[in-house]
Amino acid sequence: MIDLNGKVGLGFRRDLSEDLLTTNGFKPSFVELAPENWMNIGGYWKKTLDKIVLQYPVICHGLSLSIGSPDKLDFAFLKDLKLFLDQNNVHIYSEHLSYSKAKNAHLYDLLPIPFRQDAIKHIVERITIVQDFLERKIALENVSYYTPVAAEIDEATFISEIVNQANCNLLLDVNNVYVNAFNQQYNAKEFIKNLPLNRVKYIHMAGHEKIEDDLIIDTHGQDIIDPVFELFDFAIKHLDPVPVLLERDFNIPQLNTLQKEINALENICAKNWNLKHAAI
């Protein structure tokens, strides 16, 4: 198993497959893909997937687990998922701390869970079941949200209680922290310090779009802005080296622009984590 800690990867999109598979010098350290877009398939895209798996370490980031849902867990889906992770040599599987299904209807987007004690218990129980079933630890991501819903406790406590009680990992999405801090008007650095940072095993970085004076939408369609780079620099000072992902889902720019963002992230990692290694 290749050590991806401190390395920077890229979210894998179909439009990027040719660039990632040709020898044009563009080669992120790993790729991340959504298993839902790649499992149970064949033909052209399965061949592409097989090539990607041969050339890159693959991390999976799911969309449809719906860990915070009031609905029952979907074991048929979990079975397919486990097979996919095993077949493609995937060691890191993460999902969103949100829900995307209610009343047995998939909604295909990430909805905010009420920050409440009963939701914590419910989700902890479900993570335990999922981790047992998949026979691996999962990492859950702090998601961006545009309004709190029926919150009784603060977000950092909600996340911390869940990952600590369920004994799972945390995927720290630094852009989401920035987006939420802006939208919900809290201090991003304070928020990060209140998270169980020893459980962070993976980081996401992305761009976003400010659509109103007081609202940012987490689009993954823009370049990363400087304040998010700064927040990343701040966050990783408090963390051991972990893999870092550049998420870019829309508006995909020229490869050199992506490469510049990857380089910028690598430099910040090197600055913070190499120093730390040297000190040990």
Partner 1 sequence: MQLSKETKDIQEQLGHYCQTGQLIKPIVGAKLERLPHYRRLVFNVIKDSLSSAYPLTKSLIGDEKFYQLCFAFFSTHACKEPQVYKMTGEILTYFKEHDVLNLKSEFPFIEELMLFEWTEMEMYMMADLALPKAKKSGDWLHDILVLNPESRLLDFTYPVYKVKPNQLLKEKAGQHFCVAYREKNTGKIYFIDVSPLVALIISAINTGNKLHSIFDELNQSGIKLNEEQKDKIVAFLKSESSLVLGFIH
Dist CA 64 CA 68 (whole Å): 11
Residue 13 binding: pick among partner 1, Fe ion, none (C-beta 5-8 Å cut-off by kind): none
In the numeric block, which tokens belong to residue 71?
A: 């609905």
Tell which phi-psi region holds residue 133, choosing left (phi > 0), alpha (psi between -120 and 50) or beta.
alpha
Contact predicate 75/46, CB 8 Å:
no
Q: What are the residues binding partner 1 (CB under 8 A)?
A: 36-37, 39-47, 63-64, 68-70, 74, 77, 99, 101-109, 111-114, 116, 118-119, 121-122, 125, 146-151, 215, 217
Q: Is 264 helix (H, G, I), strand (E, B) or coil?
A: helix
**Binding string, residues 182-221; x marks residues near Fe ion by CB under 5 A:** ----------------------x-----------------
The DSSP letter of residue 73 is P
Q: How far is the CB of 141 from Fe ion (least distance, A)?
A: 5
Binding mask 139-178 for Fe ion (x = CB under 5 A): ----------------------------------x-----
Q: Identify whether the C-beta of residue 80 lies closer than 8 Å to the C-beta of residue 52.
A: no
The β-bridge relationship of strands 93-96 and 139-141 is: parallel
**Among partner 1, Fe ion, none, what does residue 274 contact (CB within 5–8 Å per kind)?**
none
Residue 9 interacts with which of Fe ion, partner 1, none, CB < 5 to 8 Å by class: none
Total length of the chain: 280
Residue identified by tokens 């689009």 is: 219
Among partner 1, Fe ion, none, what binds residue 105 when CB lies within 5 to 8 Å by partner kind?
partner 1
In the complex, the residues that contact Fe ion under the rule CB under 5 A are 173, 204
